[in-house]
Structure 1
Amino acid sequence: MTICKNCGNSFEGNYCNQCGQSAKTKRINHEFLWEDIQHGLLHYDKGIGYSLKKLFEKPGYIIHDYIEGKRVNHFRPISMVIILATIYALIYHLLDLNNRSAIDESSGLILEKIFEHYYWFVVATIPMYALTTYIMFKKTGYNFYEFIIFEAFKTSQRLGVHILFLPVLYFVKDKSGFNIITNILFLIDFILIFWTNKQFFNKMILKKVFLRSFVSYLMYLILAIPLVGIILLAFGYDG
């Protein structure tokens, strides 16, 4: 018999049948920390690394399975968005991309304010994405909360691509190529959205998926403008 160090329950086996804690609770040391990093972020069969990998293999099918209940191996989608958005904002700041010479002082201050709280901005956009997708794909039978999870995964997918493009943006930050790369990223975003939607809504004809994906994306871009203003006011930007 093993006494659970978490709840005090007596049990046999590898996990406590009352709270689920492992019977093997090692002392916290360098091995414990490395194992925690591996399982939380890098582990091949779970964590952010696993979820991101699957989002670039068969994203729509993976998200569908998650919503239907296959969740053990995946990192929680909202948490994944927060972590990736924080990594993105940190690298963006370290590369000093908000201080490039191609933008005026006012725009630079706005970007700086947004990236101070970038994870909040990204998380705030998820319900907006979910709302526009819900409006366009309402008859597919999913509720609004399921669309939030759907869009959280898609946001993580796009953040993964944007993080990879940050070094490219750094090398062209003082040139007109910065805007070109930014526009390319907008196009890549839509391609990813359409690709994922096509798989997720696979019972709908391709033309309908494309048109509804395009309209929902435009609706989001329109809604995002006042959101930026609200966030700037909330965090003290006075122009």
Structure 2
Amino acid sequence: MNCKNCNAEVNSKFCPDCGQPVSLKRINGHYIVHEIEHVLHFERGILYTVKELVTNPGENIQKYLSENRSRLVKPIIFIIITSLIYSISISFFHIEDQYVKFEGEEVRSTTPVKIFKWIQEHYGYANIIMGIFITFWLKLFFRKFRYNIFEILVSLCFIMGIGMLIFSFFSLLQGLTKMNLMNIGGLAGITYCSWAIGQFFGKDRIINYLKAFLAYILGMATFAFLAISLGIVIDFAMKH
């Protein structure tokens, strides 16, 4: 028998080359439950990843990059899951982010405002894009370190994923208490991200935390500036 995945000859239950099982189990209720348990498993699952990133983010991310990549959930999957949790939480409680407010029908009809409206409604996904700009500033501020752009971006996927969970927690509290807590949640999220980034680049130096905070703020500002600029250019092109 040949492997259906790599076509290598197979004489056991698994392919000796790629590890593909000879016979796949049928997808049923038990299979779905097992997959969910695998994702949520406290050891090498999302709960374990959250615990490690909350208690000691810098060291755990460094180990992921250079030593062991099986202990934590994959970074892209992690930030997608946490962003999805955030989007579900604000949608369930009908919470509208109030990072930007605009008044007047004429103002609300402009393209820059429409772009910010999309950001407000899809903040989890916009946060991923924002991470690219934060990565640029981090690379500039910490250029003496050996980490490349992609390694810094991976670290941000972990860190900003926890930020999404912090926002989700405060949106849950706001939905249950009817108190306006999202501003506090935003402050808590930025504080965690600055602390975690500072730990990643060296937790013994206070300057690293200040540079991390500045890079985070500048990344957000750059993202906002380019979003506004894109809207203005689109408006100008449509009028001319």
Of the candidates 75, 93, 96, which is equivalent to residue 95 of structure 1? Answer: 93
CA distance in 1, matches of 2:199, 2:209: 12
Whole-angstrom distance in 2 between the partners of 1:118 and 1:191:
18
Aligned CA distance change for structure 1 residues 90 and 228 (closer, same or farther; 3 Å): farther
Q: Which amino acid aligns with 2:175?
A: Y
Give TM-score, length-normalised by structure 2.
0.78
**Contact 1:51–1:74 (8 Å) recurs in 2:** yes
Q: Are residues 1:128 and 2:133 paired?
A: yes
Q: Which runs of 5+ in 2 are unaligned?
A: none
Residue 144 of structure 2 corresponds to residue 139 of structure 1: yes
Q: CA deviation at 1:212?
A: 1.1
Looking at structure 2, the residues matched to 158 and 14 of structure 1 have their Cα atoms a distance apart, in angstroms, of 43
Q: Given residue 200 of structure 1, which amino acid in structure 2 is its aligned partner?
A: F
- Give 1:66's match in structure 2, choosing from 38, 41, 64: 64
TM-score, normalised by the number of residues in structure 1: 0.78
Measured on the aligned residues, the alpha-carbon RMSD in Å equals 3.4
* 1:114 and 2:114 aligned: no
Match of 2:218 in 1: 219
- Identity percentage of aligned residues: 26
- Change in Cα spacing, 1:94 to 1:142, as seen in structure 2 (3 Å) is same
Aligned 8 A contact 1:98 1:111 in 2 = no
How many corresponding residue pairs?
228
2:193 is paired with a residue whose SS is helix
Aligned partner of 2:47: which letter? G
5+ residue gaps, structure 1, are none
Q: How does 1:174-189 map to 2 (within 5 A)?
A: 177-178=179-180, 181-189=181-189
Please give the secondary structure, in 2, of the residue aligned with 1:185.
helix
Deviations 1:167-209 (A, max 9, x none): 2222465xxx52xx3332233223312332343223x742211
Q: Residues 94 and 35 (structure 1 numbering): CA distance in 2 closer, same or farther, change over 3 Å?
A: same
The 8 Å contact of residues 82 and 161 in structure 2, kept in 1 or not, is answered as yes
Contact 2:79/2:161 (<8 A) preserved: yes
Q: How does 1:151-230 map to 2 (within 5 A)?
A: 151-171=156-176, 177-178=179-180, 181-202=181-202, 205-229=204-228
Q: How far apart are residue 66 of structure 1 and its match? A: 0.8
TM-aligned CA deviation for residue 14 of structure 1: 6.5
